[in-house]
């Protein structure tokens, strides 16, 4: 998070109070990042409000603040166009759940933003301060390929950094599959041996980031169920998850875990991507 030098703050023209701006001020205050305020609206001029917010931020000690209002074809495309033009490493947006019927018929805008935005995206869901709170890092230690290894390191790196900045506590959650009696490897035939294997594989980053066994949560079940369960049980203020996107698969740029848990999580949600995924999405954005 310390590497973030420029933050894109997406403001909602229908809500005067911005949770996204509150979070952006917290992060910019700790990192010295520039703030770029964005209002996406094609109906009404918000220049006066943007100018006022910018002046207030300057008065509060945020020296590098810019703003703009724009609209392209869709909300997520508008956000990504500005993110690319401004070179922002983080997009912060408030998430408001879609109507279930609308979600069944259309892919929600925030899902599209998570899929297609080349940089990290922070979805703000509540107003609780992060200070002294639980930061939950969700990893999948069962994936051993290089992409997932790098992604796990990035997730835990960011989570540890945020926990340090917020004087909070880092917890890690990883889901493991159910036992399979037909599995060739006897380790995967018993729940206890599967969990033991996963805990063993977590030891490296436990040692690197000083995560005790009590703060490592390894359990059986689907990730999109376990992540919200532990986030609620631990009263997490932020959940950090990741996605691996590979070139040549534009229709499957993100696993559905991040999308599914977005509405079920009560915490804020930070979604990270590998460098390869970010580069691929940046190329798509240029096209």
Quick one: tokens of 279?
Answer: 């580069």
Average pLDDT over residues 266-278: 85
Residue in this structure with the two tokens 């740029």, named with its chain if needed: 253
Q: Are 74 and 108 spatial neighbours (Cβ–Cβ below 8 Å)?
A: no
Residue 244 or 150, more confident: 150
pLDDT at 285 over 80: no
CA 18 to chain centre: 18
**H-state helical runs in the chain:** 19-31, 47-59, 75-86, 100-105, 109-116, 146-165, 191-209, 223-233, 256-264, 275-286
Interval 137-182: pLDDT, tens: 998 876 666 777 788 888 999 999 999 989 999 999 988 755 444 4
Say which residue the tokens 């804020």 belong to: 268
Cβ-proximal residues to 29 (8 Å cutoff; 6+ apart), any chain: 61, 62
The predicted structure's pLDDT at residue 159: 94
pLDDT range class, residue 184, cuts 50, 70, 90: very low
Q: pTM to 2 decimals?
A: 0.87
- In the structure, what pLDDT confidence band is assigned to residue 105 with cuts at 50, 70 and 90? low
Residue 76, pLDDT score: 93
3-state DSSP: the chain helix, strand, coil percent, rounded to 5?
45, 20, 30
**Does residue 256 register a pLDDT over 50?**
yes
Q: What is the rounded average pLDDT of the residues 127-146?
A: 86
Bridge-based pairing of strands 268-273 and 120-124 is antiparallel
CA-CA distances (angstroms) from residue 40 to 88, 235, 262?
16, 33, 22
Lowest mean pLDDT among 49-58, 98-107, 190-199, 212-221: 98-107
- Write out the two tokens for 153: 């390191």
Which domains are seen in the chain, by residue range?
6-94 (3.40.50.620), 134-286 (3.40.50.12370)
Helix (H) / strand (E) containing 70: strand 65-70
Q: pLDDT value at position 109?
A: 85
Per-residue model confidence as pLDDT tens digits over 7-17? 999 999 887 67
What percent of the chain has pLDDT above 90? 49
């Amino acid at each position: 998070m310390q590497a973030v030098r420029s933050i894109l703050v997406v403001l909602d023209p229908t809500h005067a109070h911005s949770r996204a701006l509150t979070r952006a001020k917290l992060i910019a205050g700790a990192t010295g990042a520039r703030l770029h305020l964005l209002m996406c609206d094609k109906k009404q001029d918000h220049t006066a409000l943007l100018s006022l917010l910018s002046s207030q931020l300057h008065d509060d000690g945020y020296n590098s603040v810019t703003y703009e209002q724009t609209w392209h074809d869709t909300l997520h495309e508008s956000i990504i166009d500005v993110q690319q033009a401004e070179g922002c490493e983080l997009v912060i947006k408030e998430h408001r759940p879609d109507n279930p019927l609308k979600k069944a018929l259309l892919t929600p805008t925030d899902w599209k933003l998570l899929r297609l935005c080349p940089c990290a995206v922070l979805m703000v869901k509540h107003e609780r301060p992060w200070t002294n709170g639980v930061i939950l890092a969700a990893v999948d230690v069962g994936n051993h390929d290089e992409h997932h290894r790098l992604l796990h390191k990035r997730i835990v790196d960011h989570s540890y950094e945020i926990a340090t900045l917020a004087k909070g506590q880092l917890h890690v959650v990883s889901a493991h599959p159910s036992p399979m009696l037909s599995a060739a490897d006897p380790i995967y035939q018993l729940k206890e041996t599967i969990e033991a294997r996963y805990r063993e594989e977590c030891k490296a980053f436990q040692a690197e980031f000083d995560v005790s066994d009590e703060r490592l949560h390894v359990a059986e079940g689907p990730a999109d169920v376990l992540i919200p369960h532990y986030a609620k049980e631990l009263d997490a203020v932020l959940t950090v998850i990741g996605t691996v996107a590979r070139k040549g698969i534009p229709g499957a740029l993100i696993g559905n875990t991040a999308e599914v848990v977005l509405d079920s999580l009560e915490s804020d949600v930070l979604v990270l991507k590998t460098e390869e995924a970010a580069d691929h999405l940046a190329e798509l954005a240029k096209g």
